Amino acid sequence: MADKHAEEVTVNHTTGDEGASARKNKKTTGSSRRTKARSQSGPPSAARKDNTEKKGEAAQQDAGTSGKKDTAASGKNKAKNGSKKNGKTQALGAKKKSKKNTHKAQDLRGENSVKGTSKNKKTRGKKAVPEGSEHVISTRGRHQIKRALVSVYDKTGLEEFAQALHEAGVEIVSTGSTAARIEQAGIPVTPVDDVTGFPECLDGRVKTLHPHIHAGILADRRKKDHVRQLNEQDIRAFDLVVCNLYPFENTVASGAKFEECVEQIDIGGPSMVRAAAKNHACVAVIVSPKNYNDALGHIAKGGYTYRQRRRLAAEAFTHTAHYDAAVSQWFIDQVETVHQRGKKHDSSYSSPDDNNAVNKDNRTGALVFEDVIAALATENEQLPQLRYGENPHQQAAAFAYPLTTGGIAHAKVLHGKPMSFNNYYDADAAVRAAYDHDEPCVAVCKHANPCGVAVANDIAKAHQLAHDCDPVSAFGGVIAANREVTQQMAEQIRPIFTEVVVAPSFSEDALEILKKKKNLRLLTMQEPEKGELEFRPISGGMMVQAKDDVREEGDDPAHWKLVAGKAVADDVLADLAFAWRAVRSVRSNAVLLAKNGATVGIGMGQVNRVDSVKLAVERANTLGSRSTGDAASDAGGDHSEKGGVGGARTQDITSDVPEERARGSVAASDAFFPFADGPQVLIDAGVIAIVEPGGSVRDDEVIEACDKAGVALYFTGVRHFSHAG
């Protein structure tokens, strides 16, 4: 499907002479630095090579009326004295002449040529565009880089990069010390205050916070109205923003005083970066010197593509998010330390007690919980208060990410007690297991591991089969369904002690039945969004990764490799495909047995794979009843208290279950078998087919064992480890 922004729009960057002259003459004309920069300008800044007198002569040649001499004289007069008064006189004179004359000279300010265009606002920007002054904004092709804003603290490779930009015909606008370094290297550069008409002030705190900068970054040049406004306000757009930020974290790490750290909080930099990233349809943004060579390569090819600009935008937003998080956490540290000392906070920068403070709990040395929660709540939606964490002595809180709608964090509680930390954790595991399947599916989870997973044409049947897998472990568990909970499913759930039931919806009859269980939590939620990130804490920090989804090429049975035995029948292959999807949600080491679209035995979390195999077979053949007697208790009461004895009797809700369910089942392993002993246990239990990733140095031994037993063995080439969080 074509991108909705794929339509090409040609944009004219030319600006009116009177606007440019008026703004230019707000500045005094004695700066040798700026004169030098302008005199050295190369393509596409040919207009800046001409002095003001030549602009007047160009205007005289183009006018074509009896007022030509007056226009030229005015231009020459401006060149001679450079005064604000005469500059304004010329601008006013040119404006009056334009009422009598058809055309006037255009000051392209950095483009390659000068050409007359209509002064009429209704047609401005619609006339022929001078060569080198048009931009084609398209999501399908490359967007040429003609004008760049460069403002960097880390000046690694700056001179070389700026020189290459200049040689590529890119006009450079820059700020403060960045502009000074570029100019010292003999490279033409336009100081940012030449663009804004306003000098840097407040010790450099205000440089780029100006409409002539931010409108030039934010203008969506696919929109004709934005282009019209740029032309009316005499603003030129930027195609590239190169910016990295003040070294806040390094300053804090150096032990600097409070006020020194505050001064290293960048304001204009993040604003420019975020503006460019937001407008990635028209602007490329670079936040690290490591991307300079890549940028030059793209410029040589004609610019960045839309997809490349979008990737740069993602990197930019990550950069500013990390920066803001560092500033936020540091400020929390300062506030809490002052509070702990019992001192009244001094908002001035003079308090020595504020310096080098570290926000730690005096007892544990950990970050103060309340302040971390307060910081997280500024960026995320805090969910109802959790009584405690995994254990009663642990504090806990839960949050929902902004701009997302799916998943357990956004679930709506229809009935029951407030959710706990463990409820959320188990419910999330159950939801992921249920939504790994396209067919109606139910997953029953306990301690973040599936007790049973099943698919069927009917959601109630799927629940029955999932519960059948291990009714003992299902006691006190969490149930997730990827379809509406029906009356029949609710009737099956009613006698079972269950903590949470989560589904897209509940029928009215199902709600009426389940709401009679006062402590049962009923939740509705939208399908979790694919491609999310997940975060894992480690001591002193965290790790982040893309969530594992069953959508790799090797997850499709069509891409599996049969390495032992004969190809299985379609119904057996369907069970293998189900088992492969279901085993992803089991904690490693994971081995899962399945038959007729349902799990019959699950072995999880063992430190060696052969133990997981043995556990899966044992659970398949005993319904888990050898581990505990909970399933044998009365079904008469509502055993709603945690730790209460029993649930439903197995025969009350399960179908006829054979004594040895492993026989005739299929097996899936989340990772390869390192030895043949694991598959041999499966073979001895009567398993008829196995699917696993393959890739062990002893694959040949495993293949030989399966071949000898006539058991089909398929390799997927993809692994689905799921370590405990």
**Cα separation of the two ends of the chain:** 38
Q: At what angle do helices 306-340 and 268-278 cross, to 10 degrees?
A: 140
Question: 238 near 220, Cβ under 8 Å?
Answer: no
Q: Is 435 helix (H, G, I), strand (E, B) or coil?
A: coil
Q: One of 278, 360, 410, 515 is an active-site residue; which one?
A: 278
> What's the rounded Cα separation, in Å, for the pair 605 and 619?
14
Q: What is d(CA 242, CA 499) in angstroms, rounded to the nearest whole number?
A: 53
The answer to whether 482 touches 441, Cβ cutoff 8 Å, is yes
Element (H, E) at 372: helix 369-377
In contact, 117 and 231? CB cutoff 8 Å? no
Token representation of residue 36: 């030098």
| Pair of tokens at residue 307 | 């997809």
- Give 607's DSSP letter: S
Whether 5 is catalytic: no
Sheet strands (E) in 280-372: 284-286, 304-305
Structure tokens at 54: 């030549």
For the question of residue 214 being annotated catalytic, the response is no
Task: Answer for the pair 514, 415: CB distance below 8 angstroms, yes or no.
Answer: yes
**Separation between Cα atoms, residue 32 and residue 502, nearest integer Å:** 72
- Residue 55 — φ and ψ, nearest 5°? -65, -40
Helix axes 224-232, 211-218, angle to 10 degrees: 160
As a whole number of angstroms, the distance between CA 219 and CA 212 comes to 11
| Six token digits for residue 505 | 């919806």
> Cα(181)–Cα(468) distance, rounded to whole angstroms?
73
How many Å apart are CA 522 and CA 458, to the nearest integer? 20
Beta bridge partners of 564: 713
Based on its alpha-carbon atoms, the radius of gyration of the chain, rounded to whole angstroms, reads: 35
Contact 64, 103 (CB under 8 A): yes
Burial class (CB within 10 angstroms; exposed 0-12, middle 13-18, buried 19+) of 70: middle
Q: Which residues are catalytic?
A: 278, 447
